[in-house]
Chains A and B, each alone.
Chain A
């Protein structure tokens, strides 16, 4: 018999309904897998007791025919979502021990749908990073290894714990958050599906803020269908978030199977810069061919401001972060380091509580907003952001979806030199433009490198058109027949 952890969410949902096993059994299987895979360091705070209690409640609801859309499905929650009574750290020392007296809207919705929380997943500190190396609670290991090698690879970031847990069969799905690629890039590195919906689809209420105008929650799963199921449960209007959309949430799962026949797929030339990794380029070509084979037409397009997206992002995101992270001051929650005055206490608390990358971004963000520099940096970036957004709007006049590589490389080694922050920022070169434009984007595993490491393809669509995105994703998924890791038995 295959292990319960190897099932997809859709399969588990159907088999739970048929009472082939109980939610508690399914949860226990995952708790055991978590225990065995502790070395991945995917979880900051496992919540086995909560998981068992909720699984039992799910079994009762399954018995009484009151099952929710995700009834009994064990999920991991990125430790950026506030969870009532459960430590929420954002992978930062400054929040160590913080137990929110409230539950984020998204995690509450998942709970309302009947899902079971297995624990809080590791991430880059305050979601700032692309490798999960900046977590105060230690790096996460990618369950994948290069062919014939034993050295550990990064899972990507910032949702590295989420990607590793799903890829390594510790959770059937996980929440991620994506500010500049933090769902899509780790999904690509770990060979799973990651979806960032349109900005405004998921409520940001209760998610520790990094960059408010960019942050979006989304699902990370092992199949496109699972992502569609999970996303439906996560989104919807929240009156507590002024930027949350009141639009009706479509049934994303319902569009699966419609294929891509007749769809126009845009191929942006700016995503094929000189020196693009040849394996990445080759996979992209393959993906284009798969879509053509499935009846789509492809259109060469231009997104002229693409090369300015990263520098724009590295003004906008740190600027917002410098303000969003001002509340970590040692007064109302989290860690405090005493000082001889209030300001001294602040400066010592924040110096000790934040890690290097977070401090760096706060300083950059403070600088670009400061008197005399606002126009040259922040205002300029907002204008370029408008141009980037317009590039996409123009493109979607001509095409229904855009397909690109998700990341410029496959997962890199944990011990690789990461001294140059700009080099690290380049990981997000293909994901950041969509974040700035607020459009939905997904990464689907497309294939393996010659070293046997996963590479993802990114699918972008117009605002609020996740349905087309899911159709394209599913077609790619079927054609790629991606060789996922085997679930440990």
Chain B
């Protein structure tokens, strides 16, 4: 199933590493007390620190440190109890201090692992190289003035975690799975909301290619700031093709920073990064090294939720779900929680999976709703499945009731009672109905008894009709079989 690019000279393998910038969920910025909310008026969420005014000094937001450690723990990574903030020096209009406060050779989190859930149910481990804390830059607006760009510093100083993978990814699909899984873990942890549209998760992709069988690492290009999973996959695909074409054409790929143009479906060199960079990193003398003890880490560890991998394993073993089904359910914590509620209330984990993954997710998808906005609560869906399990209503009735629940958000017990949908499980009324049907259709009875057993379906239908659909179909069949016996 490996992803290979067919070239004229042979097959090529793609080597991909991803750098994800994930905005830390926090109220205030990494080094100032200005807010981090999205969408405010220009320069309204800016402190003098964020604007790089003379004499202003950074002070670390303790919560952001905790969030980084929490994320590190979630990625099963090494937590560095001594790390250092360093200045990355470069000039740009969105960079008010003339440097970005980041971490360089001593990041807060070291090596870790992320497990990809492959579509065939298998898994693949991708190495995490490091995670470090850094501040975001401001934003440039180019389309308002013909000869000028405008600077909004609202994002300046917003806390980011840069999460760097090892170059372990081998296809656009794996890159997409990596991003989805990372997003899922961050959301479970509550350290990043993973919202790519609002820029709270951005991705740079490092792409290179090599002939299949080779272990060399050829020149890579960095595609900057891609803002959706789909575009990341497309950008990698296009970039890898471009490399193959360059190499096969006898050329050389230049190490450079590129941008992905999703309209044209191509990457192009980034003009503002043309000048050779020399970031002159050095430890920021305005900040002390970041130090904490075992107890600090243990305190955070004790509050970690069950993460997707563990939850998936539990769903497989405890509920007997397939790896695929469990994977779908655990991708979003709210979905998993909802499912578990329904499974517990109904007492039937597999039935719960069918209803949640098929019926409910189908409805939510159609309506474009998140699980939190579901018109059917887990409590109500659990009750509905309970009604099926207890034979109170039939599966067919349940589907009708579910439709009403979707429209009205009402309790299934109430709907069933109001509409008199309760299934007849008492043999008396069914016996009476059967007798009546048999009396009125002596010819059919005779045909059945003479061997035309496929008429059973017709008899069940008649009995159901006679009971206004309330009879339990299984019970009907059972009683009919006895009575029709020659």
A residues sitting closer than 8 Å to B (CB atoms) are 81-82, 88, 90, 95, 98, 100-102, 104, 204-209, 211-213, 239-243, 319-320, 322-323, 325-327, 329, 331-333, 342-343, 346, 366, 369-371, 374, 378
The winner among B48, B55, B281 for most chain A CB atoms within 10 A is: B55
Q: Contacts of B48 on A, CB cut-off 8 Å?
A: 101-102
Kindly identify which residue among B92, B278, B286 contacts A212, using a CB–CB cutoff of 8 Å. B286
CA distance in complex: A211, B60 (Å):
20
- Known A240-B57, A319-B282, A369-B280; 15 more pairs at CB < 8 Å: A82-B55, A205-B56, A206-B55, A206-B56, A209-B286, A211-B285, A212-B285, A213-B285, A242-B58, A242-B288, A323-B282, A331-B93, A332-B52, A369-B281, A371-B278
B446 nearest CB across to chain A (Å): 97
Task: Check A346 against B91 for contact (C-beta < 8 Å).
Answer: yes
Segment of B95-103, B421-429, B454-462 engaged in the interface with chain A:
B95-103
B33-77, CB under 8 A of A: which get 1 and which 0? 000000000000000100111111111100000000000000000
Q: Contacts of B196 on A, CB cut-off 8 Å?
A: none
Q: Contacts of A346 on B, CB cut-off 8 Å?
A: 91
Task: Check B286 against A243 for contact (C-beta < 8 Å).
Answer: yes
Q: Does B219 contact A (CB under 8 A)?
A: no
Kindly identify which residue among B57, B98, B99, B149 contacts A204, using a CB–CB cutoff of 8 Å. B57
Chain B residue nearest to A368 in the complex (CB): B280
The winner among B58, B60, B99, B285 for most chain A CB atoms within 10 A is: B285
Q: Does B89 contact A (CB under 8 A)?
A: yes
B77 nearest CB across to chain A (Å): 26
Within 8 A of A (CB), among B280-294: 280-282, 284-288
B residues sitting closer than 8 Å to A (CB atoms) are 48, 51-60, 87, 89, 91-93, 96-99, 149, 151, 275, 278, 280-282, 284-288
Listed by A's residue number, 20 A-B pairs whose Cβ atoms lie within 8 Å are: A81-B55, A82-B54, A82-B55, A90-B54, A100-B53, A100-B54, A205-B56, A206-B56, A208-B54, A212-B284, A239-B59, A241-B59, A242-B57, A242-B58, A323-B280, A327-B52, A332-B52, A332-B53, A333-B53, A374-B280
CA distance in complex: A82, B48 (Å):
12
A222 nearest CB across to chain B (Å): 28
Chain A residue nearest to B92 in the complex (CB): A342
Please judge, given known A-B contacts A101-B48, A366-B280, A374-B282, whether A205 and B97 are in contact too, CB under 8 Å. Answer: no
> Which 8 A/B pairs are nearest by Cβ-Cβ distance?
A326-B98, A369-B280, A213-B285, A212-B285, A327-B52, A206-B55, A208-B54, A371-B278
Chain A residue nearest to B60 in the complex (CB): A242
CA distance in complex: A207, B285 (Å):
15
Q: Contacts of A326 on B, CB cut-off 8 Å?
A: 89, 91, 97-99
Mostly, the B contact residues are loop
Kindly identify which residue among A206, A320, A329, A374 contacts B285, using a CB–CB cutoff of 8 Å. A320
Kindly identify which residue among B149, B280, B284 contacts A370, using a CB–CB cutoff of 8 Å. B280
A236 nearest CB across to chain B (Å): 16
A100 nearest CB across to chain B (Å): 7
CA distance in complex: A204, B149 (Å):
33
Q: Contacts of A239 on B, CB cut-off 8 Å?
A: 59
CA distance in complex: A326, B87 (Å):
12
B421 nearest CB across to chain A (Å): 66
Chain A residue nearest to B89 in the complex (CB): A323
Q: Contacts of A378 on B, CB cut-off 8 Å?
A: 282
CA distance in complex: A95, B92 (Å):
19
Kindly identify which residue among A209, A211, A332, A342 contacts B51, using a CB–CB cutoff of 8 Å. A332
Q: Contacts of B96 on A, CB cut-off 8 Å?
A: 327, 331-332
Q: Contacts of B89 on A, CB cut-off 8 Å?
A: 322-323, 326, 369
Mostly, the A contact residues are loop
Q: Contacts of B53 on A, CB cut-off 8 Å?
A: 100, 102, 327, 332-333
B255 nearest CB across to chain A (Å): 15
CA distance in complex: A327, B57 (Å):
13
Chain A residue nearest to B51 in the complex (CB): A332
Task: Check A242 against B287 for contact (C-beta < 8 Å).
Answer: yes
Chain B residue nearest to A212 in the complex (CB): B285
A331 nearest CB across to chain B (Å): 6
Kindly identify which residue among A207, A331, A369, A370 contacts B55, using a CB–CB cutoff of 8 Å. A207
Task: Check B55 against A208 for contact (C-beta < 8 Å).
Answer: yes
B3 nearest CB across to chain A (Å): 36
B64 nearest CB across to chain A (Å): 14
Q: Contacts of A104 on B, CB cut-off 8 Å?
A: 55
CA distance in complex: A206, B53 (Å):
9
Q: Contacts of A207 on B, CB cut-off 8 Å?
A: 55
Q: Contacts of A240 on B, CB cut-off 8 Å?
A: 57, 59
CA distance in complex: A113, B389 (Å):
79
CA distance in complex: A90, B55 (Å):
11
Q: Contacts of A374 on B, CB cut-off 8 Å?
A: 280-282
Task: Check A327 against B55 for contact (C-beta < 8 Å).
Answer: no
Q: Contacts of B98 on A, CB cut-off 8 Å?
A: 323, 325-327, 329
B150 nearest CB across to chain A (Å): 11
Task: Check A241 against B91 for contact (C-beta < 8 Å).
Answer: no
CA distance in complex: A213, B87 (Å):
14
Q: Contacts of A213 on B, CB cut-off 8 Å?
A: 285
Q: Contacts of A332 on B, CB cut-off 8 Å?
A: 51-53, 96
Q: Contacts of B54 on A, CB cut-off 8 Å?
A: 82, 88, 90, 95, 98, 100, 208-209, 327, 333
A377 nearest CB across to chain B (Å): 11
Task: Check B97 against A242 for contact (C-beta < 8 Å).
Answer: no
CA distance in complex: A204, B54 (Å):
11
CA distance in complex: A80, B121 (Å):
65
CA distance in complex: A439, B151 (Å):
42
The winner among A205, A207, A378 for most chain B CB atoms within 10 A is: A205
CA distance in complex: A331, B43 (Å):
14
Chain B residue nearest to A204 in the complex (CB): B57
CA distance in complex: A136, B146 (Å):
36
B138 nearest CB across to chain A (Å): 10
A208 nearest CB across to chain B (Å): 5
B212 nearest CB across to chain A (Å): 35
B147 nearest CB across to chain A (Å): 11
CA distance in complex: A268, B99 (Å):
40
CA distance in complex: A374, B86 (Å):
14
Please judge, given known A-B contacts A323-B98, A331-B93, A342-B93, whether A242 and B56 are in contact too, CB under 8 Å. Answer: no
Task: Check A204 against B282 for contact (C-beta < 8 Å).
Answer: no
Q: Contacts of A242 on B, CB cut-off 8 Å?
A: 57-60, 286-288
Q: Contacts of B56 on A, CB cut-off 8 Å?
A: 205-206
Task: Check B278 against A370 for contact (C-beta < 8 Å).
Answer: yes
Q: Contacts of A371 on B, CB cut-off 8 Å?
A: 278, 280
CA distance in complex: A257, B84 (Å):
45
Chain A residue nearest to B48 in the complex (CB): A102
CA distance in complex: A174, B484 (Å):
114
Task: Check B93 against A327 for contact (C-beta < 8 Å).
Answer: no
Chain B residue nearest to A334 in the complex (CB): B54
The winner among B48, B93, B278, B282 for most chain A CB atoms within 10 A is: B282
Q: Contacts of A322 on B, CB cut-off 8 Å?
A: 89, 280
CA distance in complex: A209, B48 (Å):
14
Q: Contacts of A100 on B, CB cut-off 8 Å?
A: 53-55
CA distance in complex: A213, B282 (Å):
12
Please judge, given known A-B contacts A102-B48, A346-B91, whether A205 and B55 are in contact too, CB under 8 Å. Answer: yes
CA distance in complex: A101, B87 (Å):
26
Q: Contacts of B99 on A, CB cut-off 8 Å?
A: 323, 326
A313 nearest CB across to chain B (Å): 14
Task: Check A369 against B282 for contact (C-beta < 8 Å).
Answer: yes
Chain B residue nearest to A207 in the complex (CB): B55
Please judge, given known A-B contacts A320-B285, A374-B282, whether A329 and B55 are in contact too, CB under 8 Å. Answer: no
Q: Contacts of A205 on B, CB cut-off 8 Å?
A: 55-57
B291 nearest CB across to chain A (Å): 12
Task: Check A323 against B288 for contact (C-beta < 8 Å).
Answer: no
Task: Check A209 against B59 for contact (C-beta < 8 Å).
Answer: no
Chain B residue nearest to A88 in the complex (CB): B54
CA distance in complex: A244, B98 (Å):
24
A453 nearest CB across to chain B (Å): 34
Q: Contacts of B282 on A, CB cut-off 8 Å?
A: 319-320, 323, 369, 374, 378
B483 nearest CB across to chain A (Å): 88
